[in-house]
Amino acid sequence: MGNNHRESHDLSRRQWLGTTGLALGAAWLFARDAQAANALPPMLSSRELRTGMKGYGLTVVKGQKIERFEVEVIGVLAYALPKQDMILIRCAGLGLEHSGVVAGMSGSPIFVTDPQKGDLLVGALSYGFPFNKDPVAGVTPIADMLPEFDRKLGPIPKNQRIAQAPEPAPKMQVPGSGEMQPVAIPLTLSGFHPDVVQSMRGALQDLGFGLVQTAAGGAASNHFSTATAQFEPGSAISLSLARGDVNMTGIGTVTWVHGDRFIAFGHPFKGLGQVHLPVGGADIQWILASANSSFKMGTALGDVGVLDQDRQAAVAGRMGVKAQMVPIRVQITNKDRKETSTWNMDVVDQPMFFPLAAAMVIANAVRSAEPIAENVALRMRLKFTIDGPYAPIVVQDLYTGLAGMQSVNEVAGIVSTIAKTLTYNGFERLRVARIDAEFEVSDERNIVFLDNARTASEEVDYTQPIVIQVDLQRANAGLERVTLTLPPLGRDLAGATLQLQIGAEKNLGWEAPEPANIEDLLRFLRRQPANNRLAAVVALPEPTLMLRGSRLVGLPLGVRDELSGHTSVSRAGKQTLRTGVDLPWTINGTTTIKLKVRDAR
């Protein structure tokens, strides 16, 4: 690339200096002792480019070796994105005529060659056209990416209530040429059971991971210990959402390096602004050509640093800094064979990805360690250790193999729900310090089916407790009879006709008042009903209203209509009468008994 860093490609340099400040720009321009890869690159602005200019790009197609491919400038789309041009290029070489633009090439630095000035960096390959037969790509101008080297980090923002995920990176319409969109960041999963991948595919796509590939060759831990050299332009870069005995890795390309800082992609990862994601090198095994979207298959290598900016024109980060992650340990014990397997993983602490990553790695351990069969019983104990003065959240439950993947998905759902609630609760950003999951597997059918439920009479006295006899049928065994006793209904329900529901409490729509503070929220999480809790619930005889966590009953019709816009309608809640008992089996089935309450005398 030469040493002529002070030659005047001056339009682009003046633009960049005006953006980032004269002092820092001058320091870059006159840092004579900087290595070429770490200095301000000789560059050319998008408005100085002309159709037909030729040059090259840098990327990795196999292993960790950076290779060149040829490019030719097609033209420039002025202001294709907000205050940002888009350079159009045609690529050749490295098999791109066959594969087209490859997902994972995002960030590949693009140079044009000037007869007098040499190789000039113009930007990063970043956008493409789905189903395009030609290797045509969009390039983000380098002048729009360089400011991300010096964007200041702010404090961690205050926690907010759960909101929809950010919209995908912006798309633009090119007349007559289809829809241009960011070149995808392929997500490679290593060490995951196919059932778990299939079950979670929709959730991954909701996060914008349209390209999900299960890597061949086993768990990522075999590769992760491999040392990774420092980044340089064209290096493959990995973003790890989970690692250890499994791996979830996004693959892209480094555009430029300055000191301990790097920029990459040329488009947002997810457009999250300030982030905290571990990054490392990547070992590329193969490029899979596809009519839809060709992509790189790769595996994460050792940590290089942390990604801390996710912006429109680029992502940026620092080398030599270790990202904080959440350790997860899963222990699965087979009670009959007296065998124990242990899974150790770290998952990313970024709020958008943490709940799904934690749910996937725990569900995967369960699905992979033991077969899901009808004669398998599963007992779970989850422990979320929280930073700060808070006691851990411990949740226990029973599952049956008869439900197949449904039981595994239930486990994933509980993990994800707790993780989301702690992260997005509206009171305080709680950080999970670690998760410990213990599962005991036994060769038995730990399920009972609700066969019958009855009271002494269909008419009850509001002053007397209600005794309910419940018959439960076990597999290859006789009936189990359980007695539940509801407290007296009270005078307010005299003359009413009520519905008495019996079944697993988890399926009966139980409610709790809206939490008023963080301690209320943690109590709610610790009280999650389990599959083995048999309950009897009497719902109020008419729809009622919840207001600020309290249930309002006996309201005149006009008042109820006035409040209905500020409340949520429900039948079971704070004032619902209920009773329950924990059983050694999961409960299948529900039933309803109609009760007539005697009028007051």
Q: How far is CA 37 from the centre of its chain?
A: 34
- Contact status, residue 502 vs residue 590, Cβ threshold 8 Å: yes
User: Confidence band (pLDDT; 50, 70, 90) for 559?
Assistant: low
**Cα-only R_g, the chain:** 30
Count, residues in the chain:
601
- Contact status, residue 402 vs residue 425, Cβ threshold 8 Å: no
Query: What pLDDT does 508 receive?
Result: 85
CB atoms within 10 A of CB 116: 6
Q: Which domains does the chain have, with CATH numbers?
A: 10-150 (2.40.10.10), 178-325 (no CATH), 326-443 (3.10.20), 447-597 (no CATH)
Across the range 347-358, mean pLDDT stands at 93
Q: Please give the single-letter amino acid code of residue 315.
A: V
Residues 166, 518: Cα–Cα separation, whole Å: 26
What is the phi/psi pair of residue 426, to 5°? 85, -5
* Average pLDDT of the residues of the chain: 81
User: Confidence band (pLDDT; 50, 70, 90) for 312?
Assistant: very high
- Contact status, residue 504 vs residue 469, Cβ threshold 8 Å: no
- Contact status, residue 245 vs residue 219, Cβ threshold 8 Å: yes
444: closest CA among 472, 481, 476?
476
Strand order in the sheet with 590-597: 459-460, 590-597, 497-504, 533-538, 577-582
Residues 378, 400: Cα–Cα separation, whole Å: 6
- What are the C-alpha distances in Å from 66 to residues 60, 108, 165, 171, 235? 5, 10, 35, 29, 6
Residues 252, 256: Cα–Cα separation, whole Å: 13
For 350-387, give one letter per residue: b (16+ CB within 10 A) or e.
Answer: bbbbbbbbbbbbbbbbbbbbbebeeebbbbbebebbbe
Q: What is the pLDDT of residues 464-523, one digit of tens each?
A: 999 999 999 987 778 899 999 999 988 878 888 888 999 999 888 766 667 888 998 999
Helix (H, G, I), strand (E, B) or coil at 272: coil
272: closest CA among 167, 155, 185, 424?
167
Query: What pLDDT does 369 receive?
Result: 78
Across the range 309-317, mean pLDDT stands at 95
**What angle (nearest 5°) sits at the alpha carbon of residue 182, between those of residues 177 and 187?**
135
Range of 174-183, 358-367, 493-502, 574-583 with top mean pLDDT? 358-367
Residues 328, 347: Cα–Cα separation, whole Å: 7
270: closest CA among 166, 200, 193, 420?
166
285: closest CA among 59, 58, 61?
61
Query: What pLDDT does 557 receive?
Result: 52
Residue 425 is given by DSSP the state B
Residue scoring higher pLDDT (478 or 526): 526
Residue scoring higher pLDDT (541 or 294): 294
Provide the token pair at 170.
Answer: 């912006």
User: Confidence band (pLDDT; 50, 70, 90) for 548?
Assistant: low
Alpha helices per DSSP H over 233-384: 354-369
- What are the C-alpha distances in Å from 71 to residues 228, 266, 401? 29, 17, 56
Q: Please give the single-letter amino acid code of residue 281.
A: G
- Contact status, residue 437 vs residue 382, Cβ threshold 8 Å: yes
Helix (H, G, I), strand (E, B) or coil at 392: coil
The strand pairing partners of 499, in sequence order, are 594
Least confident residue range of 362-371, 410-419, 531-540, 570-579: 570-579
Query: What pLDDT does 19 receive?
Result: 37
What is the phi/psi pair of residue 513, to 5°? -60, 150
Residue scoring higher pLDDT (387 or 36): 387
pTM above 0.85, yes or no: no
Tokens 């890869």 — which residue? 37
231: closest CA among 110, 30, 60?
60
Across the range 199-209, mean pLDDT stands at 86
Least confident residue range of 75-89, 177-191, 555-569: 555-569
Tokens 């005991």 — which residue? 440
Q: Supply the angle between the helices 194-206 and 354-369 in degrees, to the nearest 10.
A: 170
Residues 410, 115: Cα–Cα separation, whole Å: 64
Least confident residue range of 154-163, 271-280, 336-345: 154-163
